[in-house]
Structure 1
Amino acid sequence: MSIKNATISKGFIIAGCMNASVLIFSRFFTNSTIHEFDPEVMSNFGLVMILIWGLAYMAVAKNYHHVKWLVGVFALEKLIYGCVWSFWLYNHRISDVFEQDTMAGLFYAMYGLNDWLFFIFFLLVFVWLFKSKDEG
């Protein structure tokens, strides 16, 4: 895999910004519709933790190659959120969320896709880091 370090670093920054977008969709944690449709995962505490994970991605953007196991944890975290979203979709209708609030509907329509995308990104970076350490 021949991706430049700067490109991978940008991926970490973009992942962090995507997580930080929870501030917009939740209207700075005041959008009660998000909580209503998944009170366990998407409580205000859950939304704050999504923001914290995003800050963690950005914090290692320039030094990700020194924390390969943390990158693996990031992949695992995204896998879990992707699975939670997939199970949520199986049991709910996004149209019901959109009927109550467009921003909450957009959030539920996108957050899992984002998590699956960045699961793949973090997993690829983790595998690449693991292989590059073994070769050197």
Structure 2
Amino acid sequence: MKFDTIKLGFIAAALMNIGGVMVFSRALTNTVINQFDPVVMSNFGLLMIMIWGLAYLGTAFITSNVKWLAAAFAIEKLVYVIAWLIWITNNSLSAVYDQDLFAGMFYSIYGLNDFVFMVFFAWVCITQAKGFKPA
């Protein structure tokens, strides 16, 4: 994988975290998201998701080895995937959709999105640990 692909992957992760939270939470005013998971998806939790997005964005512009950052990001995403799996098995998406379309869409996709980026971050870590040199 070329460095440009890695850079774009980190930028995409940042955009998903920052843009996704801002859109689906309506700039942190959508209380339905908070209501259905008041611990992980409180406004504080959503703000921290955006802070992670800033960390991904900063990493996109590091031209040296980022394997340990990518490993930390992969673990962080794994935590959110597990949280989503627990949430999705114990809650009703239709109840969320009944209250708010954006909150329903958020809960429908956030775990899948985090899984995709978890795989990407793990792949970056593994390829860089094997001596991959960005072009």
Task: Answer whether TM exceeds 0.5 for this pair.
Answer: yes
- Select which of 4, 7, 10 maps to 1:6: 4
Match of 1:51 in 2: 50
Query: What is the letter of the counterpart of residue 63 of structure 1?
Result: I
- TM-superposed CA distance for 1:64, in Å, is 5.9
Contact 1:12 1:57 in 2 (8 A): yes
Match of 1:42 in 2: 41
Match of 1:124 in 2: 123
Contact 1:64 1:71 in 2 (8 A): no
- TM-superposed CA distance for 1:70, in Å, is 1.2
Match of 1:17 in 2: 15
Q: Which runs of 5 or more residues in structure 2 are unaligned?
A: none
Distance 2:93 2:30 in 1: 16
Contact 1:65 1:129 in 2 (8 A): no
- TM-superposed CA distance for 1:16, in Å, is 0.4
Match of 2:95 in 1: 96
Query: What is the letter of the counterpart of residue 79 of structure 2?
Result: I
Q: Which runs of 5 or more residues in structure 1 are unaligned?
A: none
Identity of aligned residues (%): 50
Query: What is the letter of the counterpart of residue 55 of structure 1?
Result: L
Contact 2:65 2:128 in 1 (8 A): no
TM-score by length of 1: 0.93
Distance 1:87 1:64 in 2: 37
Matched, 1:81 2:85: no
RMSD: 1.1
Secondary structure of 2:23's aligned partner: helix
Secondary structure of 1:66's aligned partner: coil
